[in-house]
Amino acid sequence: METIEKIYDLKKLKEEIKVAAAYQRFLKDQRKSVHNKLPREIGHREASLKHARNRAKLSAMYVAYGVMRGKDLREQLNAHISKKNDWMCNQEDEFSYNERKAKNTVDILLREYKLKEKVEA
């Protein structure tokens, strides 16, 4: 039986999560408009926009990492996706808008980090 680690490249995803988290800390310092004691490399408005985009990307990466390790997708979405300013399109929908958006990103990440399958001739 094949293990989960052989299906997905977890090491690569973990490294990219570490890089994105470090960038998030850098952006947090750059967002400060008044009391910034560090040298400004980008404007505070641009840093705020990049911080929000990076936060959504990181959340999807955390969900994908949990799914790759065998956790339930629904449980991971509840743990890592924000409910703030979220809405349901229909009452019949299983996932809310933010969850569907994150699920699409997670599906892309799962395909991206899937290892090439061995073809036996």
* Phi, psi for 35 (deg, rounded to 5): -100, 40
- 20 burial level (CB within 10 Å; 0-12, 13-18, 19+): middle
pLDDT tens for each residue of 101-118:
888 899 999 999 888 764
Instruction: Write down the pTM of the prediction.
Output: 0.77
- Low-confidence winner among 30-34, 88-92, 95-99, 117-121 (lowest mean pLDDT): 117-121
What are the pLDDT digits (tens) for 50-96? 999 999 899 999 999 999 988 998 888 888 877 666 665 555 567 77
Numbers of helices and strands, H then E, in the chain? 5, 0
